[in-house]
């Protein structure tokens, strides 16, 4: 007796998790969500999940901010990036963009993050991982778990006569 895939908790947990990641991605395109604790902040905005460490801006306890915005989305699939604080870590393109970006053109998430980090200290950092990358990594992990489940079930079916379908008399 072989259990079908739709009876697997791994299968349904994976479906639920991927639906949640897609919802979080969609939500990040229309609003900003920022839970903060002390010097750590997580921000869901612009199709990416950003983790920021700011020892210079330490606040006690938990804070939570949520803002809806109607700015144009520059990219549905932003690139991942890591940015250190301080103007000395800013690349020439960011310095030039900062001086000339008053024309109202939409900025990419990386440009926006880089400009915000220019005013931070050199101990601060920001890591932005887009939701498409979260979804891809989870789908890969989920596929590996489902393949491992199938391999385990096949191996168990070979060694157990009842799972092969034979009857004992």
In a domain, 21, yes or no: yes
Spatial separation of the C-alpha atoms in residues 8 and 97, rounded to whole Å: 51
Spatial separation of the C-alpha atoms in residues 125 and 41, rounded to whole Å: 11
- Say how many CA atoms lie within 13 Å of 138 toward its Cβ: 18
46: DSSP letter: T
Q: How far is CA 155 from the centre of its chain?
A: 35
In a domain, 169, yes or no: no
pLDDT given for residue 22 in this prediction: 96
Is 160 or 76 the better-scoring residue by pLDDT? Answer: 76
Is 51 or 4 the better-scoring residue by pLDDT? Answer: 51
Per-residue pLDDT band at 169 (split at 50, 70, 90): very low
Q: pLDDT by residue (tens digit) across 51-83?
A: 988 886 667 778 888 888 765 566 778 889 998
Spatial separation of the C-alpha atoms in residues 121 and 9, rounded to whole Å: 46
Pick from 68, 63, 75, 72: which is nearest to 27 by CA?
68
Hey, CA dihedral for 157, 4, 1, 164, is it positive or negative?
negative
Q: pLDDT by residue (tens digit) across 146-159?
A: 999 888 888 887 88
In a domain, 32, yes or no: yes
Contact assessment for residue 142 and residue 122, using Cβ atoms and an 8 Å cutoff? no
pLDDT given for residue 1 in this prediction: 44
pLDDT given for residue 150 in this prediction: 87
Q: pLDDT by residue (tens digit) across 87-143?
A: 766 666 665 665 555 556 666 777 777 777 777 778 889 999 999 999 999 999 999
Spatial separation of the C-alpha atoms in residues 137 and 17, rounded to whole Å: 12
Is 149 or 18 the better-scoring residue by pLDDT? Answer: 18
In a domain, 168, yes or no: no
The total of structural domains in the chain comes to 1
pLDDT at residue 46 tops 80: yes
In a domain, 102, yes or no: yes
Q: Domain limits at 46?
A: 5-156
pLDDT given for residue 128 in this prediction: 93
In a domain, 124, yes or no: yes
In a domain, 99, yes or no: yes
Q: pLDDT by residue (tens digit) across 21-42?
A: 999 999 988 888 999 888 888 9
pLDDT given for residue 136 in this prediction: 97
In a domain, 66, yes or no: yes
């Amino acid at each position: 007796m072989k259990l079908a895939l739709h009876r697997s908790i791994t299968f349904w947990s994976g479906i639920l998790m991927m639906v949640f990641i897609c919802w979080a991605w969609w939500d990040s395109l229309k609003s900003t969500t920022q839970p903060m604790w002390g010097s750590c902040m997580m921000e869901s905005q612009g199709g990416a999940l950003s983790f920021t460490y700011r020892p210079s801006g330490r606040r006690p306890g938990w804070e939570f901010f949520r803002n809806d915005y109607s700015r144009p989305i520059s990219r549905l699939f932003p690139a991942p990036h890591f940015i250190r604080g301080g103007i000395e870590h800013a690349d020439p393109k960011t310095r030039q963009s900062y001086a000339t970006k008053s024309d109202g053109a939409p900025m990419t998430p990386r440009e926006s993050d880089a400009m915000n980090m220019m005013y931070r200290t050199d101990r601060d950092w920001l890591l932005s991982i887009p939701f498409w990358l979260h979804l891809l990594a989870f789908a890969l992990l989920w596929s590996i778990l489902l393949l491992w489940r199938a391999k385990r079930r096949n191996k168990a079916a070979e060694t157990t006569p009842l799972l092969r379908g034979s009857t004992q008399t």
